[in-house]
Amino acid sequence: MNKYLFPVYAIIIGVAIALLTKKQKTTGTKLLLSFSGAFLLALTLFDLLPEVYDHLDAKETGLFIMCGILLQVILEFFSKGAEHGHIHIHKNQTNFPWLLFISLCLHSLIEGFPIHQHNDMVYGVFIHKIPIAALITAFLLQSKFSKLQIVTFLFIFSIMTPLGTVISNTSSIPHDYLSIINAIAIGIFLHISTTILFETGEGHKFNLSKLLAILLGVLIAYFI
């Protein structure tokens, strides 16, 4: 059960980073974002993708993965890309960002489904959430929202992934349907991770430190 709480720990770490740095995006956060994108992509390809292809027809698997990609595109229409580090909250905004909140919560709920006691996807989600939580917290702190609104936002956001994991592992949902949801999650992971990799550099260029962060993410995922 402790393993399922890793996404919550990631939010706590991200909030701590935001409070310590007091900036929207530091160099360290950018590098961690690049590392997390590579790590999540590699774990998806090494661990989750083969598992889903074992339980579904190959063409159907591809279809549901594509559905996941399209779902993430739709979610980002409302969240403006917060899932991969693009936060757009105006400092003078006083209205609660419901579309951002709902999009992030739905994204987090789905990404909890592929997490099982026997796989390593929880580590990919854990690493992915740290820089995202840091960036979201930094922007929320610069907004005009009350402390209660910010705490409530972060608390509900933090429990959505464990909630998805609990539903997946304790409900009576047929295994084929769970495999479909996992395939959709793969599409979401593929979209998020590749977007991070191609958009973290200035002018879409990678410097040496980012390249090393990406390679390190892939290597660690391979040897887990």
Q: What is the mean pLDDT of the chain?
A: 85
Q: What is the 3-state secondary structure (H, E, C) of the chain?
A: CHHHHHHHHHHHHHHHHHHHHCCCCCHHHHHHHHHHHHHHHHHHHHHHHHHHHHHCCHHHHHHHHHHHHHHHHHHHHHHCCHHHCCCCCCCCCCCCCHHHHHHHHHHHHHHHCCCCCCCCHHHHHHHHHHHHHHHHHHHHHHCCCCHHHHHHHHHHHHHHHHHHHHHHHHCCCCHHHHHHHHHHHHHHHHHHHHHHHHHCCHHHCCCHHHHHHHHHHHHHHHHC
Domain ranges of the chain: 2-12+28-223
Predicted confidence (pLDDT) per residue in 151-160, tens digit: 999 999 999 9
Least confident of 14-28, 41-55, 118-132, 195-209: 195-209
User: What is the C-alpha separation between 146 and 218, in angstroms, rounded?
Assistant: 40
Q: Average the pLDDT over 105-110 and give the result.
A: 93
Tokens 């429990």, residue? 159
* pLDDT of residue 203 exceeding 60: no
Q: Which of 95, 94, 68 is nearest to 83 (CA)?
A: 68
C-alpha separations of 154 from 10, 134, 163 in Å: 11, 11, 15
pTM of the model: 0.88
For 191, the token pair is 């979209």
Q: Average the pLDDT over 93-110 and give the result.
A: 86
**Measured between alpha carbons, how far apart are the two ends of the chain, in Å?**
20
Q: Residue 26 — very low, low, confident or very high, per pLDDT cuts 50/70/90?
A: low
User: What is the C-alpha separation between 58 and 202, in angstroms, rounded?
Assistant: 37
